[in-house]
Amino acid sequence: MAHPAHVVLRRSILAVFVLGVVGSCAELLLLGHDEDLKQFIPLVLFAVALAGLVWIAATGARLAFLVFRGTMALFIVAGLLGSWLHFTANREFQLEVDPSLTGWALLTEALQAKSPPALAPGMMVQFGLLGLAWTFRHPQLESTEPSIRS
């Protein structure tokens, strides 16, 4: 059985993860982040992660945890890819506005652009790491009994 402090920490990590994913999903939908296929990636990953948590809660199956971990790895990849896509779009826009921009000036202009925020997809990396932290040495992965109470 897990130490009570570990249970509280694990539940806290899960609560932060769920609140962050639900809030970010709502924000992306309100911002209209569904204009093309690439913009659906975080929305789909949010849905898959939440479905994975329901699967884990319902069955406690080892496979459910492993699929959830795989989804968290995809969160990290999506966050890095999204940051690159946002940065690239900003860089191209800045070059259209001022073709003379180069080097450090171009980099800072692209990173400081408000739309799309270049580093906002980094939240996907954070969520992926939170999800992985929640599953790290999870008692259910080490147990043969199907129950997830922590």
DSSP states along 57-109? HHH--HHHHHHHHHHHHHHHHHHHHHHHHHHHHHHHHHHHH-TT--HHHHHHH
The one-letter amino acid at 71: T
Cβ neighbors of 20 (< 8 A, separation 6 or more) are 123, 126, 127, 130
Residue extents of the structural domains in the chain: 4-142
pLDDT at 3: 77
pLDDT at 143: 67
pLDDT at 2: 62
pLDDT at 140: 85
pLDDT along the chain (150 residues), means of 10: 82 97 96 92 98 96 96 98 95 94 93 89 97 92 59
State the pTM of this model. Answer: 0.87
pLDDT at 145: 55
Cβ–Cβ < 8 Å for 131, 75: yes
Cα→Cα distances 132→46, 94, 104, Å? 15, 37, 35
